[in-house]
Amino acid sequence: MKCSQVILRIFTGAIAGILAIVLSAQSGYRTDSLLDALSLDPEDTALYQQLDELISINLYNDPKVALQQAEQVMILAEESSNQYMVTRMVMNTGIAYDMMGLYDSARTRYEDALALAEKYQLSTTMGDICNNLSIMHSVMGQMEKSLEYCLKAMEIFERTADSGRMSKIYNNLGSRYSEMGMNDKALEFYQRAVDINIRLNDLPRLARNYGNIGTVYSSLENNDEALDYYQRALQIQRNLHNKTDISISLSNMALSYQRIHAYDSAIEFASQAYEIALETNNEIGKITYFTTIAGIYKSKGQFTQSVENFTRAEVLADSISAQQTLLGIYSELAAVYASLNDFKRAYDYNEKYNNLRLSLLDSEKDKALEKLKKFEEEKKQDEIDLLTKDSEIQKLKIKRQKMIRNSVTAVGVLLLALAIGLWQRYRYIRRTKNELAEKNVVIQKEKDKSEELLLNILPAETAEELKSKGHSEARHFELVTVLFTDFKGFTQKAEQLSPAELVSEIDLCFKAFDEIISSHCIEKIKTIGDAYMCAGGLPVPNTTNPVDTVMAALEIRDFMEALKEKRLPENRPFFEIRIGVHTGPVIAGIVGVKKFAYDIWGDTVNIASRLESSGEVGKVNISGTTYELVKEYFTCVYRGKVEAKNKGAVDMYFVENKKTDR
C-alpha cells in the first residue's frame, strides 16, 4: 500500500470516527429531549414514533443504551395504555439482548412481544418479531425453528402487501438457503430483496443485501466479486454511520483478504471491526475477530497462536450458545491440533464437531429442507390455481351477466316488499343492541377489575393456571435469586411520623422497588411490615436472574441513597436500607384458599433473609454462591466468612458497582 493511501485512509477513518461521536451525542441529546417531552404529554403519538425510530438506530450502535431507552418508553406507553408502542418496545428490548448475545433474555422478550402483538392484532409488528426470532434461532443453529418463523413472517407480510418488509423476508430466506449450501436459490432471494430496496431507496437494508451476496460469492471462492459487494455495503454503511453493520462488513472484508493471503489488509480490517464490536458489545463481532486472526495464523503456519485465538472464539461462542459458529470452530481446532501432531486433541475436537453436526445440523437441515420444499410446492400450486381461477372467473362473469338481466326485475319487487319489514326489524334490533351494549360495558368493566386484581396478587402464568384448572401446582425451581430488604431502625423512625406519613413513605419506597424489579423481569413475592421480598428466575425460569437481581439490588440501594440526600437538606426523616441476596433452589406455589398468595419456600429463602440481617446499611450483601454467578459483571468486596443467624459461617461479599468494561 502506498504512503499516500495509508495517510488518506487514516485521515478518512479519523474524520468518520469524529463524525460518529458527534452524531451519537446528538442522538442521545435528542432522545433525552423527546423522553422529557413525552413524560409531559404521554399521549403524543408523533413523539412515540420519533423515539421508536431513534431506538431502532441505537440498536445497531449501542444496544445497551437502546435497551434503557426502550424500557423508559415502555413505562410511559403502559401509563398511557398505548398497546402498540408497548409491544414495539418489548420487541426492541428483545433485539437489544439479541445484539448483545443474551439469547435467553432475547427469546423471552420476543415471545412476550409476540403474545402482545397477537392479543392486540398488530399484524405488522407480529411479522417483525417473527423475522427477528428467525434470525436469532439461525445463529443458535436451530434451522427448523428459524425457517418456521421466517415463513410465518412471510405469510403475514404477503397478506398485508408490505413490500418493504417483504425485502427483509427475502433477505432472511436467502440466508437460510446460503446456510444449507443452496447458493443459486440464496442469490435469487437476495436479488429480490435488492430490487425492492433500490426501488424504495432503503439504504440500510440494501447494504445488508450486498453484504450477504458478498458472503455467497466468498463461499464460492470468487473473492473479487465478494470484495466488490462487501465494499458496496461498507460505503453505504459508513455514510449511515451504522456501527454494527460497519463491523460486519469490515469482518467480511478481512476474511476475503485472508483467503487471498493479503494478511496485512486482513488484520487491519479485522482490528477495525473488533474495536467496533467492543464498543457496541457485539459478541458475534468479537468471535469473528478471533476466528479471523486464528485463520491468519493457521495460514502462516503459526499453529500455537492459531489455537489460542480459536479457543478464545470457542469460549465466547459457547457462552452465548452460537451453535452454528461453534460448529466451524470445532472443525478448525481439529485441523490445527492435527497440524501440531496433537492427535488426541484433534480427535476430541473432531468428535465434538461430528456430535454437534449430527445432533444439530443434519436433522435440522433435513427438517428445514422439507419445509422449503413444501413452501416452494405450495407457491407453484398457488400460481397454477391462480391461472385456473382466471379462466373460471371469465366464464362466471358471462353467466352472471345473464342471470343479472333476468333477475333485476324480480329482485326489485322483492326488495320493495322487504324494505318495510326490514325497517321495522332494524328499529327493534337497534334498540335491543343498545341495551345489550350498555350491559356488556358494565360486565367488561367488572371483568377487567377482577383480572387486574388477580394479576396484582399472582404472576400472570400462575393466574392463568388457576383460572383454567381451578388450582395451581407447586413447582420446583433449580436456579432462583432471592432478594430481601429491610429498613434500619424502622420502629424509631416510625415514631417520628404520623400514621398517614408513615404509610405514604413506605408506599413511595415500595412503588419504586416495584418499578425497578419489573424492569429486570423479577417477581415480587410479598412485603411484611417494612421488609420487601422478591425473586428472579420464576415463574418463568431463566439463567440471567442472578445478574438481573443484583442489578436491581444496586438500583434499589441507589434510589434509597438519593432519597436520603433529598431528605437531609429538608430536615425530614428518611429510611436507611439493608439488602441481602442469595441464589439457589426453591419451591413456589399458592398458599391458602382465602386471600391466597404466591409464595416461595426453602433454605435459599432463609439464607437470603440472614444475608440481609447480616449486612450493613447502604450495602448489597450477597452470598458466595451468588458471587460466583455474577463476579464477571460486578465489582465485589469479600467480607470473609460471616456468622449468619442459625446458618453458621457463610461467605459474604459486598457488591460495589457494575463493571464498566463489559
Domain harbouring 189, CATH code: 1.25.40.10
Domains in the chain: how many in total?
A: 3
Q: Please tell me whether the overall predicted TM-score, pTM, comes out greater than 0.85 for this model.
A: no
pLDDT at residue 369, as a whole number = 57
**Residue range 481-489: average pLDDT?**
93
Statement to judge: residues 425 and 557 lie in one domain: no
Statement to judge: residues 453 and 577 lie in one domain: no
Statement to judge: residues 423 and 506 lie in one domain: no
Question: Is pLDDT above 70 for 16?
Answer: no
Top-confidence residue, 405 or 147: 147
Statement to judge: residues 475 and 449 lie in one domain: no
**Domain membership flag for residue 120:** no
pLDDT band at 493 (very low <50, low <70, confident <90, very high): confident
- % of the chain beyond a pLDDT of 90: 34
pLDDT at residue 21, as a whole number = 41
pLDDT at residue 326, as a whole number = 87
Alpha carbons 262 and 224: distance in angstroms, whole number: 13
- DSSP letter for each residue of 264-287: HHHHHHHHHHHHHHHHHT-HHHHH
Span 202-232, pLDDT tens digits: 998 899 899 999 999 988 889 899 899 999 9
Span 217-271, pLDDT tens digits: 988 889 899 899 999 999 998 898 878 888 888 988 888 888 888 889 989 999 9
Which among 507, 544, 541, 545 has a CA at the least distance from the CA of 527?
Answer: 507
**Domain membership flag for residue 83:** no
Q: Which has the minimum average pLDDT: 18-27, 182-191, 647-656?
A: 18-27
Question: Is pLDDT above 60 for 535?
Answer: yes
Residue 442: give the domain boundaries: 404-457
Give the list of residues 6+ apart from residue 54 with CB closer than 8 angstroms, or none.
Answer: 27, 30, 31, 34, 69
- The answer to whether the CB of 576 falls within 8 A of the CB of 510 is no
- % of the chain beyond a pLDDT of 70: 79
Give the list of residues 6+ apart from residue 200 with CB closer than 8 angstroms, or none.
Answer: 163, 164, 167
E-state strands within 493-559? 522-528, 531-536
Span 423-481, pLDDT tens digits: 777 777 777 777 776 666 665 665 655 555 555 556 666 667 666 665 578 899 999 99
Statement to judge: residues 636 and 506 lie in one domain: yes
pLDDT band at 500 (very low <50, low <70, confident <90, very high): confident
- DSSP letter for each residue of 377-418: HHHHHHHHHHHHHHHHHHHHHHHHHHHHHHHHHHHHHHHHHH
Top-confidence residue, 70 or 424: 70
Question: Is pLDDT above 90 for 619?
Answer: yes
pLDDT at residue 115, as a whole number = 94
Statement to judge: residues 649 and 513 lie in one domain: yes
Question: Is pLDDT above 50 for 22?
Answer: no
- The answer to whether the CB of 269 falls within 8 A of the CB of 251 is yes
Last residue of a domain, one of 167, 186, 202: 202
Query: Is residue 131 helix, strand or coil?
Result: helix
Statement to judge: residues 501 and 605 lie in one domain: yes
- The answer to whether the CB of 556 falls within 8 A of the CB of 516 is yes
pLDDT at residue 89, as a whole number = 92
Statement to judge: residues 410 and 549 lie in one domain: no
**Domain membership flag for residue 615:** yes
**Domain membership flag for residue 167:** yes
Last residue of a domain, one of 457, 486, 520: 457
pLDDT band at 517 (very low <50, low <70, confident <90, very high): very high
**Domain membership flag for residue 530:** yes
How many beta carbons lie within 10 A of that of residue 260, not counting itself? 14
Last residue of a domain, one of 147, 167, 202: 202
Alpha carbons 146 and 163: distance in angstroms, whole number: 21
Statement to judge: residues 532 and 603 lie in one domain: yes
Statement to judge: residues 437 and 516 lie in one domain: no
* Beta bridge mates, 577: 487
pLDDT at residue 337, as a whole number = 92
Span 301-352, pLDDT tens digits: 999 999 999 999 999 988 887 777 888 898 999 999 999 999 889 889 888 8
Alpha carbons 374 and 368: distance in angstroms, whole number: 10
**Domain membership flag for residue 308:** no
pLDDT at residue 556, as a whole number = 96
Statement to judge: residues 505 and 579 lie in one domain: yes
The CATH number of residue 651's host domain is 3.30.70.1230
Statement to judge: residues 451 and 483 lie in one domain: no
Top-confidence residue, 217 or 141: 217
Top-confidence residue, 169 or 551: 551
Average pLDDT, the chain: 82
Top-confidence residue, 161 or 519: 519
**Domain membership flag for residue 157:** yes
pLDDT at residue 370, as a whole number = 63
Alpha carbons 270 and 292: distance in angstroms, whole number: 7
Alpha carbons 291 and 629: distance in angstroms, whole number: 27
Q: Which has the minimum average pLDDT: 51-55, 354-358, 392-396, 509-513?
A: 392-396
pLDDT at residue 150, as a whole number = 84
Which among 477, 486, 505, 479 has a CA at the least distance from the CA of 587?
Answer: 477
pLDDT band at 643 (very low <50, low <70, confident <90, very high): confident
**Domain membership flag for residue 241:** no
Top-confidence residue, 577 or 493: 577
